Amino acid sequence: MKDIYEILNDIEIDEDEMEIIDATDIEKAKVKKYLKKSINKDKSYRNKGIAIAVLCCLLIGGAGTLGVAYPSYAAEIPIVGDIFRFIDNGRTGAYDKYKEYADVVGATQESNGIKVTIKEAIFDGKTLTYTYEIISDKDLGDNPFFNMNGPRLTIKDYNGGSGGSSGVKRFAENTYVGEETITIDEERKAISFELNFTNIGDMSSENSREIKGNWKFKINLKALDNVKQIINKTTEKNGVQLNIESISKTSATFTLNYSQEISKDLQEKYFIVDIPIEEVKDDLGNVYKATSVSTNEGSEGRYAGKSMSSFGELNPNATKLIITPKVHLSNDVHQESGDGEGKAVDTSPTIDENHPKNNEITLDDIVIELKK
């Protein structure tokens, strides 16, 4: 006997005849946006039948039922919570395993007509990533940003450096989803942190109105199991030296730890000399894009120090990683400092024939033999 989904898949419909079921405004917007995108007039009747099954799942059991009945379609419909994939524009790669291993937080705070929910969070020992949803009673613009002034994240018992990245997207009318990644410079088995959002504004607008509020969260996470491999491989060219110190691997991520040394001649020639490892590839042809790059300056300031680049899941069949480091050199920096009398003085670096505006050096490959 056919089950309910086989029966539904045998039904042929025209997507123009689709009707939105009774649901919240947010659910309606999500279903409209993602189901209509997934249906193509040239696709077979089975794909159209799947659309009916999806709508029936929503009618019978809500968004949670959908994730169980049709897990392969979960990434296409963020009402089941896969913000990681939505932020990454639906691509496979960096965030493939984040959803599987992330802890569901589900904490909500509402203030001044704006509801903020921390959805999921994951910690691999050095890099913390969390997702959130914003539902507002007003338009927050194209790029809402928390805490225009002042800190918003505090890690318990930690005074070291950190770096990371963030992104937020409009999902529906007055509804946004976002993701933030923070990498710290020490390895931990667990992390306790506090998010304290005190205001929100639109970063895409010069005349953004800042909305005050109080959205506060306390979150505790255990780190994913971590395997560390010492590398200590160096490549050097034209006064730049890069050393890959180690690689740390978890079920969902891997992190490269590295350091750089810059010659005095190059320091005098360029204001910025940086080697961010933003992409690596393996011996199977897979390319990995960094989700976070963090640098902790050393005794020589911006010219030396230790850095970390975090990536998504490493293919378990890969035996080698190939790194092609690119050195970014620049004097294209605007700087100002006070003159002691309240006036700003332009202290930007000189740009002339001995101090080029920008340049790039590609170092020789470093090949890492991965241990199983």
Number of independent structural domains in the chain? 3
The SS3 assignment for 213 reads: strand
Question: Residue 250 half-sphere exposure, CB side, CA atoms within 13 Å?
Answer: 24
Tell whether 206 and 91 lie within a shared domain.
yes
Both structure tokens of 200: 């929100």
- Least confident range of 61-65, 184-188, 315-319: 61-65
Of the two residues 132 and 95, the one the predictor is more confident about is 132
Domain boundary among 222, 250, 267: 222
Statement to judge: residues 63 and 163 lie in one domain: no
Residue with tokens 């959805």: 119
* CATH code for position 122: 2.60.40.1630
Listed residues 199, 222, 245: the one ending a domain: 222
Kindly list the distances between the CA atom of residue 11 and the CA atoms of 53, 57, 160, in Å, as whole numbers in the listed order: 10, 15, 59
311 in the same domain as 361 = yes
In this structure, what are the phi and psi dihedrals at residue 208, rounded to the nearest 5 degrees?
-60, 135
Same domain, 123 and 89: yes
Q: Assess whether 91 and 123 both reside in one domain.
A: yes
pLDDT per residue as tens digits for the range 234-257 = 999 999 999 999 999 999 899 999
Q: What is the pLDDT of residue 88?
A: 60
Question: Do 159 and 267 lie in a common domain?
Answer: no
pLDDT (0 to 100) of residue 62? 39
Whether 235 and 365 map to the same domain: the answer is yes
**pLDDT higher at 199 or 6:** 199
**CA gap 248, 276 in Å, rounded:** 17
pTM of the model: 0.67
Confidence (pLDDT) at 205: 64
Q: Do 266 and 291 belong to one domain?
A: yes
Using an 8 Å Cβ cutoff, are 80 and 58 in contact? no
Where does the pLDDT of residue 271 fall: very low under 50, low under 70, confident under 90, or very high at 90 and above? very high
Domain shared by 161 and 237, yes or no? no
Q: Report the CATH number at residue 329.
A: 2.60.40.1640
Contacts of 220 (CB under 8 A, 6+ apart): 190, 191, 192
pLDDT of residue 256: 95
φ, ψ (nearest 5 deg) of residue 74: -60, -40
Q: Confidence band (pLDDT; 50, 70, 90) for 84?
A: low
State yes or no: pLDDT of 304 exceeds 90. no
Round to whole Å and give the CA distance between 82 and 182. 19
Question: Which residue type does 6 have?
Answer: E
Digit-coded pLDDT (tens) for 338-350: 767 778 888 888 8
Which range marks the domain in which residue 287 is found? 227-369
- Could you tell me which of 135, 161, 132, 145 has the C-alpha nearest to residue 198? 145
- The token pair that represents 307 in the structure block: 């850095």
Examine the fold and report which residue of 222, 244, 272 is the final residue of a domain before the chain moves on: 222
Residues 49 and 124 occupy one common structural domain:
no
> In terms of domains, do 40 and 130 share one?
no
8 A C-beta contact, residue 310 and residue 266:
no
pLDDT of residue 291: 83
Residue 203 phi/psi, 5-degree rounding, is: -70, -15
Q: In terms of domains, do 89 and 170 share one?
A: yes
The tens digit of pLDDT for each residue in 29-62 reads 444 443 444 334 343 333 333 333 333 333 333 3
